[in-house]
Amino acid sequence: MAEAYDFPETGTVVDVGDGLGGLLVEILRRRPGLGGVLFELASALPDHVLGELGDDSRVRAQVGDFFGSVPPADVHVLEYVLHDWTDEQCARISRNCRRALNEGGRVVVVDAALPSGNEPHFGKLLDLMMMVAVPGGERTEADFARLFDQAGLRLTRALPTDGSLSIVEGVPRCGARPVRC
Ligand SMILES: C[S@@+](CC[C@H](N)C(=O)[O-])C[C@H]1O[C@@H](n2cnc3c(N)ncnc32)[C@H](O)[C@@H]1O
Q: Using one digit for the tens of pLDDT, what is the confidence trace for 97-139?
A: 999 999 999 999 999 999 888 999 999 999 999 999 999 999 9
Mutating to test ligand 1, I would choose from 25, 26, 38, 40 the residue with most ligand atoms within 8 A of its C-beta, which is: 40
Of all atoms in ligand 1, which is nearest to the CA of residue 19? Answer: 27
Query: 18 in ligand 1 pocket by Cβ < 6 Å?
Result: yes
Domain ranges of the chain: 11-172
Instruction: Give the model's confidence band at 161: pLDDT under 50 very low, under 70 low, under 90 confident, else very high.
Output: confident
Instruction: Give the model's confidence band at 177: pLDDT under 50 very low, under 70 low, under 90 confident, else very high.
Output: low
Residue nearest to atom 12 of ligand 1 (CA): 17
Which value, to the nearest 10 degrees, does the dihedral of the CA atoms of residues 77, 67, 144, 146 take? -140
Selecting from 3.40.50.150, 3.30.420.140, 3.30.470.30, 1.10.3720.10, what CATH number does the domain 11-172 have? 3.40.50.150
- Percent of the chain whose pLDDT exceeds 70: 96
121 is catalytic: no
* Averaged pLDDT score across all residues of the chain: 93
**The predicted structure's pLDDT at residue 178:** 54
Residue nearest to atom 18 of ligand 1 (CA): 65
CB-based contacts of 136: which residues, under 8 Å, 6+ apart? 82, 83, 84, 85, 86, 89, 90, 130
23, pLDDT greater than 90: yes
Q: What is the mean pLDDT of residues 135-151?
A: 96
Query: 20 in ligand 1 pocket by Cβ < 6 Å?
Result: no
Of all atoms in ligand 1, which is nearest to the CA of residue 81? Answer: 10
Closest CA to 35 of 21, 14, 53: 14
Query: 66 in ligand 1 pocket by Cβ < 6 Å?
Result: yes
CA 20 distance to own-chain centroid: 15
Give the Å distance between the CA of 121 and the centre of ligand 1: 24
- Percent of the chain whose pLDDT exceeds 90: 86
Residue nearest to atom 14 of ligand 1 (CA): 17
pLDDT digits (tens, 9 = 90+) for 50-79: 999 998 899 999 999 999 999 999 999 999
Give the Å distance between the CA of 41 and the centre of ligand 1: 7
Name residue 108's beta-bridge partners. Answer: 77, 169
Query: 158 in ligand 1 pocket by Cβ < 6 Å?
Result: no
Name residue 160's beta-bridge partners. Answer: 166
Select the more confidently predicted residue: 71 or 2. 71
